[in-house]
Amino acid sequence: MKIFLSDKLVDEKDATVSVFDHGLLYGDGIFEGIRAYNSRVFLLDEHIDRLYDSAKAIALEIPMSKQEMSEAVVNTCKANHISDGYIRLIVTRGKGTLGLNPFLCEKAMVIIIAAKIQLYPKSFYETGLKIVTVGTIRNHSEAINPRIKSLNYLNNIMAKIEAINSGCEECLMLNSQGQVAEASGDNIFVIKKGVITTPPSWCGALEGLTRNKVMELAREKGYEVREDVLARYDLYVADEVFLTGTAAEIISVIDIDKRQIGTGKPGKVTAELSALYTECVRSEGTPIS
């Protein structure tokens, strides 16, 4: 496997990072998870824009232009013969001291990995997920804003641990006001009487690119789509609930806190949106070859 490291492609065995890198020491850095389908990188421009927005929010200077970064992603896919896969794009603060001061770091480190991923077993897409609400609340927006895709994912990992300990693959996270935020790694949608609703980003949700694309596809199909505050009650009494994410794509939730959602099976609207999304990802994107 070839890894893009700093400014060039290297063999996986040579892809090493300093133990003094602040990405390792403090989770000081940002990342994007990107998908490739049918020899195209899906939503590449949008992912690059969000990466640079995250960098600006944490005062991290990326030592490459957006165009250079996009070319590096495509070239890493080419080098690894990726036509359908997953790309992890990481920018760390770089090598520094054992102190917190980020401005003593020499230069940001860029890492690009192009490989494969399967977040959930295929059977879960057919039967739906069962999830639980966890006690770990989503980061406050003025602590670590969830719109920043930072390397510090401990908040999400703590929630994931609770989910797994409860026998579930995924969970529901609330914000400090008890409102619905998102899952540990995905955005959440509710369908009630044909209206599709998802929490706004200020409730503690990442402004997911899959989320945004699904909202766009649903509106084009004629559905009313809202960004609104949700309580757990709204999920319990929903006709359908589903999650979206780059790795997860679209997956139904059929049980929350042992409350059956709708019929207890993946719903028709979710299936329709999933089909539209699948068609979209196979035909759009930045060509790899």
Residues known to be catalytic: 149
**Is residue 227 within 8 Å of residue 219, measured between CB atoms?**
no
**Angle between helix 44-57 and helix 66-79 axes, rounded to 10 deg:** 130
The sheet with strand 85-92 has its strands ordered as 8-11, 2-5, 109-115, 85-92, 29-37, 40-41, 286-287
Backbone φ and ψ for 167, nearest 5 degrees, come out as: 85, 20
**Angle between helix 209-220 and helix 268-283 axes, rounded to 10 deg:** 110
Q: What sign for the dihedral angle of Cα 72, 153, 49, 101? A: negative
Bridge partners, residue 266, by sequence: none
Which stretches of the chain are DSSP H helices? 22-26, 44-57, 66-79, 122-127, 154-165, 209-220, 232-236, 268-283
The rounded distance, in Å, linking the Cα atoms of 182 and 198 is 9
The rounded distance, in Å, linking the Cα atoms of 91 and 266 is 37
Joined together, the tokens standing for residue 253 give: 């939730």
The rounded distance, in Å, linking the Cα atoms of 251 and 201 is 20
The rounded distance, in Å, linking the Cα atoms of 17 and 139 is 28
CA end-to-end span of the chain, whole Å?
18
